[in-house]
Amino acid sequence: MRSSDSGPAGRLAAFGNQLVEVHLALRDELDRLAAGESPGRDLRAHCLAFCTALERHHVGEDTRGFPALEADFPELGPTLELLRRDHEMIGAILSRLAELAGQPDDGRLAGEVAGLAAIVSSHFAYEERTIVAALNRLDLPEWRADPPDFLRLHG
Protein backbone atom coordinates (compact mmCIF):
# COMPACT_ATOMS: atom_id res chain seq x y z
CA MET A 1 0.00 0.00 0.00
CA ARG A 2 1.15 3.47 -0.76
CA SER A 3 -0.23 6.93 -0.28
CA SER A 4 0.43 9.86 -2.49
CA ASP A 5 -0.06 13.59 -2.15
CA SER A 6 -0.63 14.21 -5.84
CA GLY A 7 -1.72 11.35 -8.08
CA PRO A 8 -4.68 9.62 -6.44
CA ALA A 9 -6.32 12.76 -5.06
CA GLY A 10 -6.45 14.20 -8.54
CA ARG A 11 -7.90 11.20 -10.28
CA LEU A 12 -11.54 11.33 -11.29
CA ALA A 13 -12.67 8.51 -9.01
CA ALA A 14 -10.63 9.04 -5.83
CA PHE A 15 -11.60 6.49 -3.19
CA GLY A 16 -12.86 9.08 -0.69
CA ASN A 17 -15.04 10.66 -3.35
CA GLN A 18 -16.41 7.21 -4.19
CA LEU A 19 -17.26 6.72 -0.51
CA VAL A 20 -19.18 10.00 -0.46
CA GLU A 21 -21.14 8.90 -3.56
CA VAL A 22 -22.07 5.62 -1.87
CA HIS A 23 -23.11 7.50 1.27
CA LEU A 24 -25.27 9.85 -0.82
CA ALA A 25 -27.03 6.88 -2.44
CA LEU A 26 -27.57 5.20 0.94
CA ARG A 27 -28.87 8.48 2.45
CA ASP A 28 -31.31 8.89 -0.45
CA GLU A 29 -32.57 5.34 -0.01
CA LEU A 30 -32.91 5.79 3.75
CA ASP A 31 -34.80 9.06 3.22
CA ARG A 32 -37.24 7.25 0.89
CA LEU A 33 -37.61 4.46 3.42
CA ALA A 34 -38.24 6.88 6.30
CA ALA A 35 -40.78 8.80 4.20
CA GLY A 36 -42.61 5.60 3.33
CA GLU A 37 -41.77 5.99 -0.35
CA SER A 38 -41.41 2.41 -1.47
CA PRO A 39 -42.50 2.28 -5.10
CA GLY A 40 -43.37 -1.29 -5.96
CA ARG A 41 -42.38 -2.57 -2.51
CA ASP A 42 -43.95 -2.59 0.88
CA LEU A 43 -42.16 -1.06 3.84
CA ARG A 44 -40.95 -4.42 5.13
CA ALA A 45 -39.31 -5.47 1.85
CA HIS A 46 -37.81 -2.02 1.36
CA CYS A 47 -36.46 -2.04 4.91
CA LEU A 48 -34.85 -5.47 4.53
CA ALA A 49 -33.21 -4.48 1.23
CA PHE A 50 -31.82 -1.28 2.74
CA CYS A 51 -30.59 -3.05 5.89
CA THR A 52 -28.73 -5.58 3.76
CA ALA A 53 -27.08 -2.85 1.67
CA LEU A 54 -25.99 -0.83 4.71
CA GLU A 55 -24.66 -3.91 6.51
CA ARG A 56 -22.69 -4.95 3.41
CA HIS A 57 -21.23 -1.43 3.18
CA HIS A 58 -20.12 -1.38 6.83
CA VAL A 59 -18.65 -4.89 6.73
CA GLY A 60 -16.62 -3.82 3.69
CA GLU A 61 -15.33 -0.74 5.47
CA ASP A 62 -14.40 -2.79 8.54
CA THR A 63 -12.65 -5.57 6.60
CA ARG A 64 -11.02 -3.69 3.71
CA GLY A 65 -11.27 0.06 4.03
CA PHE A 66 -10.23 0.64 7.61
CA PRO A 67 -7.28 -1.79 7.55
CA ALA A 68 -5.95 -0.06 4.41
CA LEU A 69 -6.29 3.33 6.10
CA GLU A 70 -4.62 2.10 9.30
CA ALA A 71 -1.67 0.77 7.31
CA ASP A 72 -0.95 4.13 5.68
CA PHE A 73 -2.38 6.50 8.29
CA PRO A 74 -1.85 4.94 11.74
CA GLU A 75 -2.84 8.24 13.36
CA LEU A 76 -6.43 7.45 12.25
CA GLY A 77 -6.53 4.42 14.56
CA PRO A 78 -8.67 6.01 17.31
CA THR A 79 -11.07 7.49 14.76
CA LEU A 80 -11.42 4.16 12.97
CA GLU A 81 -12.11 2.44 16.29
CA LEU A 82 -14.95 4.91 16.95
CA LEU A 83 -16.34 4.21 13.49
CA ARG A 84 -16.17 0.46 14.12
CA ARG A 85 -18.14 0.93 17.33
CA ASP A 86 -20.70 2.96 15.38
CA HIS A 87 -20.95 0.07 12.92
CA GLU A 88 -21.65 -2.34 15.80
CA MET A 89 -24.37 -0.06 17.19
CA ILE A 90 -25.92 0.42 13.74
CA GLY A 91 -25.71 -3.34 13.18
CA ALA A 92 -27.77 -3.91 16.34
CA ILE A 93 -30.39 -1.47 15.06
CA LEU A 94 -30.42 -3.23 11.68
CA SER A 95 -31.01 -6.56 13.44
CA ARG A 96 -33.92 -5.03 15.35
CA LEU A 97 -35.34 -3.64 12.11
CA ALA A 98 -35.09 -7.04 10.42
CA GLU A 99 -36.91 -8.61 13.36
CA LEU A 100 -39.64 -5.95 13.30
CA ALA A 101 -40.01 -6.29 9.53
CA GLY A 102 -41.11 -9.89 10.08
CA GLN A 103 -43.88 -8.94 12.52
CA PRO A 104 -47.29 -7.34 12.04
CA ASP A 105 -46.90 -3.60 11.58
CA ASP A 106 -47.75 -1.70 14.74
CA GLY A 107 -45.80 1.44 13.91
CA ARG A 108 -42.58 0.37 15.63
CA LEU A 109 -40.82 -0.30 12.31
CA ALA A 110 -41.37 3.27 11.11
CA GLY A 111 -40.14 4.60 14.47
CA GLU A 112 -36.98 2.50 14.32
CA VAL A 113 -36.35 3.61 10.73
CA ALA A 114 -36.60 7.26 11.83
CA GLY A 115 -34.09 6.62 14.63
CA LEU A 116 -31.76 4.82 12.24
CA ALA A 117 -31.94 7.73 9.81
CA ALA A 118 -30.75 10.18 12.46
CA ILE A 119 -27.88 7.96 13.60
CA VAL A 120 -26.72 7.06 10.08
CA SER A 121 -26.79 10.70 9.00
CA SER A 122 -24.53 11.68 11.89
CA HIS A 123 -22.27 8.65 11.33
CA PHE A 124 -21.81 9.35 7.62
CA ALA A 125 -21.08 13.04 8.26
CA TYR A 126 -18.41 12.17 10.85
CA GLU A 127 -16.90 9.50 8.63
CA GLU A 128 -16.72 11.90 5.70
CA ARG A 129 -15.10 14.64 7.81
CA THR A 130 -12.50 12.30 9.26
CA ILE A 131 -11.43 9.79 6.59
CA VAL A 132 -12.33 11.01 3.07
CA ALA A 133 -9.11 13.02 2.63
CA ALA A 134 -7.01 10.02 3.67
CA LEU A 135 -8.96 7.68 1.37
CA ASN A 136 -8.34 10.10 -1.49
CA ARG A 137 -4.60 9.84 -0.81
CA LEU A 138 -4.52 6.03 -0.93
CA ASP A 139 -2.85 4.65 -4.02
CA LEU A 140 -4.06 1.07 -4.36
CA PRO A 141 -3.94 -0.14 -7.98
CA GLU A 142 -5.92 -3.26 -7.05
CA TRP A 143 -8.78 -1.06 -5.82
CA ARG A 144 -8.73 0.95 -9.03
CA ALA A 145 -8.90 -2.28 -11.05
CA ASP A 146 -11.59 -3.85 -8.84
CA PRO A 147 -13.12 -1.44 -6.28
CA PRO A 148 -13.99 -3.01 -2.94
CA ASP A 149 -17.67 -3.63 -2.31
CA PHE A 150 -17.99 -0.73 0.15
CA LEU A 151 -17.05 1.71 -2.65
CA ARG A 152 -19.64 0.38 -5.10
CA LEU A 153 -23.14 1.58 -5.73
CA HIS A 154 -25.55 -1.34 -5.66
CA GLY A 155 -28.96 -1.11 -7.19
C-alpha angle 79/85/88, rounded to 5°? 145
| Alpha-carbon gap, residue 6 to 41, rounded angstroms | 45
Domain coordinates in residue numbering, the chain: 16-142
Cα 155 to Cα 9: distance, rounded to the nearest angstrom: 27
pTM for the whole thing? 0.86
Letter string b/e over residues 80-90, b meaning 16 or more CB atoms within 10 A of that residue's CB: beebeebbeeb
Q: Would you give per-residue pLDDT tens digits along the chain (155 residues)?
A: 444 444 444 444 699 999 999 999 999 999 988 887 665 457 778 888 899 999 999 999 999 999 999 999 999 999 999 999 999 999 999 999 988 888 877 678 888 888 999 999 999 999 999 999 999 999 999 998 899 999 998 75
